[in-house]
Structure 1
């Protein structure tokens, strides 16, 4: 398994209106990630079944340096600055890969 560094972030949103606005902010941020972050291997947002006000992000980076590069990007800084207005809570779990299978 490669060095990989990842995290899972669970966001609880205030209400459906803020959820819609948060999803829009996420979509804009994802465009920057796709274009400007070769070290970001996976960045997926999820809505858990039966939890319409929850979003779960799964992020996988080539290494810790790639994560730090992600955090330094203007689109990420904007996301971090603007997200608070939509949130009722956030929980972050950092992950170190030890085994697994990845796509080629």
Structure 2
């Protein structure tokens, strides 16, 4: 398994609303069309109304690469770059 957490910081409430709308339109396709995507859950960050965090789990790194290679994902990321002030990705490894 391969997991990633991605934090997005937004400049204002308008950008946050646009981001949330984009997410609502994009996530169903990810879950329906990517068999290697096990979990893809966007979150609001408590106490930080202009922050969002995605928790993503994939069967392996190849499944994540397939997710990143989808045209819909590329379009999502292009539109996200127009809305956010920063993005931080953390690659996660389970404790064993």
TM-score range, shorter chain: over 0.9
Higher-Rg structure is 1
**Cα distance in 2 between the residues matched to 1:82 and 1:28:** 12
Unaligned runs of 5+ in 2: none
**Cα distance in 1 between the residues matched to 2:37 and 2:76:** 16
Are 1:33 and 2:37 counterparts?
no
Q: How far 1:96 moved relative to its partner?
A: 2.3
Aligned residue pair count: 96
TM-score under structure 2 length normalisation:
0.94
Structure 1 residue runs of 4 or more that deviate by more than 6 Å after TM superposition: none
**Cα distance in 1 between the residues matched to 2:61 and 2:95:** 14
SS state at 2:46 partner:
coil
Q: CA RMSD of the aligned region, Å?
A: 1.0
**Cα distance in 1 between the residues matched to 2:75 and 2:28:** 13
Unaligned runs of 5+ in 1: 100-104
